[in-house]
Structure 1
Amino acid sequence: MQERSDEQLMAAVQVGDQVALAELVTRHHGPLLGYLYRLVGGDRQLSEDLVQETLLRVLRQGTYQPARPFKPWLYTIATNLARDHFKSAAVRQGWRGGDEEKTLLHLYDSTPGPEERALAAEQDSEVRTAIAQLREEYRIVVVLRFYQGFSLQEIAETLHIPLGTVKSRLSVGVHRLRAMLAPVQEGVD
């Protein structure tokens, strides 16, 4: 039996198929949690709350169109909820580290070998801090591209912006990250 696509599952959810909903949740909960966790600066409770709200909106919303790709639509909802949280609460928080982040990274990211993990751990805090310092429009594009593996077209669809804007924001974001991390790299060599 062939696995159903996200779009097929969502069409089934719209007619009340709870099994299809469970499959969508199982398929997307982990990656969505990892994305929101990075987007909101490492606040695990907030990212879990946003995942739950995103999934509730998926269930409640009648705006999904079966011809539309599901994944960009899902991440649009999640991104907008995160933005709304920070706008409504007027919250500005820095990145926090700790055991929770290591647990999430272990669960939701591909695990490198021990040597790679040791080297990455040395730079983890600096990278996290640098990403947090990016303006929101650059941070979202960088996280979607490099942490979630979205294509440039999927990012454009998710954020409802032109492909050229995605490319520009990604270029600027990566350039700014490199500039922020260059002093760190020079200190390591």
Structure 2
Amino acid sequence: MTQAEETLWKQARSDSKAMAVLLQQHYAFLYKYMLKATMNRTIAEDLVQDTMLKAIENIASYHGKSKFSTWLISIGTRLYLDALRRGKRERKWQETEQAQALRALKYEAASAGSDFPEAMEALAGMEEHVRLPILLKYYYGYTVDEIAAWMDIPAGTVKSRMHNGMKRLRKELSEHDNGA
């Protein structure tokens, strides 16, 4: 953490302008993570806003032991997992919405002249409890212990989910490369 960021988050405890600057600096990073985690633009936007509100409410509990972005990701991950736990009844509807959102993301990528990576498509097909640990570990570089704490599960479960998810991901990508 830089000296400037440390000064800023300390000021943010009592200065709303400093808090606004701090949140603006981390908005894009958090949004990109939530978009990858949810594979749904609307849900990602809602979760980012909820995360920002939670950060404002709880800024006094942030002590700078980790990067501010890490703290935000932990809040966002917990909010997303809580929402998933509450929304099991809505699973079928969410799957339909996610499929439509995934098609929209692919269309946007094609319209912009870029490819939608096969790995992201394969990740999108995985359940959240498998996709999140893979994203957090291999894309964002967080430790198994951090992921376990955020997801409120044992580290061994995180490792198992990552192992099984990566095995499935490799298989799907291998099948795609072989034209299957």
- Using the size of structure 2 for normalisation, the TM-score is 0.73
Partners of 2:48 and 2:76 within 8 A in 1:
yes
Q: Calculate percent identity across the aligned residue pairs.
A: 29
SS of the counterpart of 2:177?
helix
Q: Distance in 1 between matches of 2:82 and 2:153?
A: 18
Deviates more, 1:154-163 or 1:88-97: 154-163
The match for 1:60 among 41, 57, 77 is 57
SS of the counterpart of 1:4?
helix
More helix by share: 2
Partners of 2:134 and 2:165 within 8 A in 1:
yes
**CA RMSD in angstroms, aligned pairs only:** 3.1
Aligned counterpart, 2:10:
11
Cα gap change, 1:83 to 1:164, in 2 (>3 Å): closer
Equivalences for residues 44-59 of structure 1 within 5 A:
44-59=41-56
Query: Does residue 130 in structure 1 map to residue 122 in structure 2?
Result: yes
Aligned counterpart, 2:75:
77
Deviation at 1:170, TM superposition (A): 2.5
Partners of 2:51 and 2:79 within 8 A in 1:
yes
1:1-24 deviation line (CA, Å, top 9, x unaligned): x7523x54333322x222331232
- Matched residue pairs, number? 168
Give unmatched runs, 5+ long, in structure 2.
none
Partners of 1:72 and 1:158 within 8 A in 2:
no
Aligned counterpart, 1:181:
173
- Using the size of structure 1 for normalisation, the TM-score is 0.70
Question: Structure 1 counterpart of 2:46, which letter?
Answer: D
**Structure 1: which 4+ aligned runs deviate by more than 6 Å?**
none
1:14-49 deviation line (CA, Å, top 9, x unaligned): 2x22233123212211111111112222x2122111
Partners of 2:12 and 2:59 within 8 A in 1:
no
